[in-house]
Structure 1
């Protein structure tokens, strides 16, 4: 895969991408499953960008984390959340995908942020020098031997941190890869240094071991280990170990469907059927149920169960690849144990991680979904907006790599008059809603708007803004009154020369 330098400039009715080929990406990393774009609606709302350019914590500037994926989070037991990310690249990375220099197989960031409603900030990182996140576990970076070592789960017991990982021998087609083994490393200095020697290891000589990718949950004196084979086509299996014996493989017991049994791990019976990839499991206090999120085909889905062994509910779609192309991950934040459940979601083209949110009902169903259809314009196949979006004036769809998320965004552009993107959304009467959208503009913009209006009529509520250089969220809270539908819009009065507005990731949810 050959990548090169990229630059953009306003040209015509959109932005022109200039590509100069050169350089070679070091590996084909974990893209979403190819050729299986989902069609389900996505109830998830994008809250903010966790990593990369434009991230809330400026991870490129502070730790040279310009591009990365995953974001496996756990409570370290001392007031912080630790987040382990996968293959990470530095200053010369360019989208799409994993490429560039300063390649680290994993990095770790730390957070004390308890208010996730406006995004998640990081306060520090495991570093090897000032301003540079370090590689936690060395890898050979030799294809066919050991191309990388990827973190898959984390858990703390006392003051010790445990990190599950997989040694990847070769990346195959999207959704397929070969592993040498999986293991659990440990750290006694809050993730600064990690040791793999002495930890448990699950070898994979035949490529069928069921515990190559993991999710770890500590509860009631045990650490539960959920596992899948390498790739995204396997079923979910379950083991557990007394919490003070996590590093002793002989202490693990595998769930056979009726009992906990000592090894081999191949005695474990599936607790959730295939296909499943990139697991995340937690116990949720609000619902009193166990939650599991994972990639099923081309969607991130949610299941719940009364007990760690199940029975697990039918899968409910959290996010579809039709709205988030190249999506994977979906790792739960350990402090979001109420009705608002926050997850770290990876996307391939921007090759970075976003904080998303869904709302749970008391029985662990998904409620209060995003009411905006095609919220990030990813279902648009042409240069002009199509249903459910519409345009007043001069508008279009950017199909390139400069959107806030994914592969596309909407735009309005002209040198005179009013131009907007809009969509009619059904609402409940007498309900308070919040509209949000991510926007940026040309430097000369002096009259931009985000809001809701009577369909085809006058505004109900709107916010006015001037020039916005970076992707920025704007919100409007309003009461629906007697209305059963409103029209959401983002637009500009272009009375100050050639002006443009870019828009991405709209959401409308009950407040």
Structure 2
């Protein structure tokens, strides 16, 4: 999942030291146009750390290319995989039905050889079905598909009609030592109605080759959902996933208006071994997730990479119900993390809930970063991704 040694350094971070529910706020959030007073008060009180990165300039330069098959989608985080950039999306609505007769996919992905974002990003492709419709990045299991089929349509075989299982993936990260990619994903149960969905758990899919489908390894064969590493009610590990040294690091940023982020790590060799996870407790690493310390307020959709220009880790996200895209920095994944710095403020009609940066496209050692976020266009689920070029001081 790497585009050469430069990007390897970017994604994997600086040389190792001796001593890093994928909840998705759905489309209706993006239509909110005001920031609650409570959030403003939180912003006023969230001071006291080191300042975040300075910004020299930030401007939208284009929108991300999409296939004529795509009406709308969200998510849009990406990672460098086997010399290509792979973009992962959540719920995806098609303009035309696929070979199974549906225009609703719970995830999709795109692959591009275009590694220069200065003039926009295009050249995307992805595997398709027999009629040309884009395929899934992480497909439903046979059990999940059977459930979805039985509850599909207004005159479904089993009530409630419209109920479904969905898999929402994050960006793939590369395990160079084993020449494979690891993809965080959340399993979602949903029924018709606004915000009528919940995260059931999370895990990591293993992708052995670009031309093969990722696999959802069995974690516990006796469980209701055998592939899940973390289950409902546990922290949403799977945000800001990065590799550093021989480990995979992942944040969980859960909560209400504020999203305190905690940090866990696991050896890259055993990413779906629950017992191998360790949680940063503020001073060291504990084997008990309850010890995980709150490091900073972030967002459940967040990107993290090491930025050589800043000589620091860089986290990019959009605060809930806000129009800003912000960044924090830290000398180590464990912190201390800086205050938020505004990278870009989206137009008033758009509240970017899925803003991320794309480290494989950075320029000048990371001084130039490229950030995307989805925004509604026309129709019920029409959307596009704005591409913003940010030049750091």
The Cα of 1:347 is off from its aligned counterpart by 1.3
The Cα of 1:195 is off from its aligned counterpart by 1.6
Report what 1:185 is aligned to.
205
Distance 1:36 1:147 in 2: 32
User: In the alignment, does 2:302 pair up with 1:279?
Assistant: yes
Report what 2:228 is aligned to.
201
Q: Greater CA radius of gyration, 1 or 2? A: 1
Q: Is the 8 A contact 2:31 2:349 kept in 1?
A: no
Superposed CA offset, 1:138-192 (max 9, x none): 2555689654221133211132121111122348998895211111111212264
Moved more, 322-331 or 296-305: 322-331
Alpha-carbon distance change, 191 to 44 in structure 1, aligned in 2, over 3 angstroms: farther
Q: Is the 8 A contact 1:147 1:170 kept in 2?
A: yes
Alpha-carbon distance change, 359 to 329 in structure 1, aligned in 2, over 3 angstroms: same
Report what 1:166 is aligned to.
186
Match of 1:79 among 70, 83, 104: 83
Task: Tell me the secondary structure at the aligned position of residue 269 of structure 2.
Answer: helix
Distance 1:29 1:132 in 2: 23
User: In the alignment, does 2:370 pair up with 1:345?
Assistant: no
5+ residue gaps, structure 1: 1-26, 94-99, 362-511
Q: Is the 8 A contact 1:284 1:291 kept in 2?
A: yes
RMSD: 3.3
Report what 2:58 is aligned to.
44
Distance 1:174 1:214 in 2: 24
Q: Is the 8 A contact 2:57 2:392 kept in 1?
A: no
The Cα of 1:312 is off from its aligned counterpart by 0.9
5+ residue gaps, structure 2: 1-24, 44-54, 152-159, 220-226
Report what 1:59 is aligned to.
67
Moved more, 183-192 or 171-180: 171-180
Which one has the bigger strand percentage? 1
Q: Is the 8 A contact 1:252 1:262 kept in 2?
A: yes
Greater relative contact order structure (CA < 8 Å, 6+ sep): 2
The Cα of 1:198 is off from its aligned counterpart by 2.7
Report what 2:74 is aligned to.
69
The Cα of 1:108 is off from its aligned counterpart by 1.4
The Cα of 1:291 is off from its aligned counterpart by 0.5
Report what 1:377 is aligned to.
none
Q: How does 1:73-472 map to 2 (within 5 A)?
A: 73-76=78-81, 78-91=82-95, 102-129=103-130, 131-135=132-136, 136-138=138-140, 146-158=164-176, 159-170=179-190, 178-190=198-210, 192-198=212-218, 201-206=228-233, 209-229=234-254, 233-263=258-288, 265-273=289-297, 276-297=299-320, 298=322, 299-323=324-348, 325-335=350-360, 336=362, 337-349=365-377, 350-361=382-393
TM score, norm. by length of structure 2: 0.70
Q: Is the 8 A contact 1:69 1:346 kept in 2?
A: yes
Q: Is the 8 A contact 1:212 1:229 kept in 2?
A: no
Which one has the bigger helix percentage? 2
Distance 1:305 1:322 in 2: 29
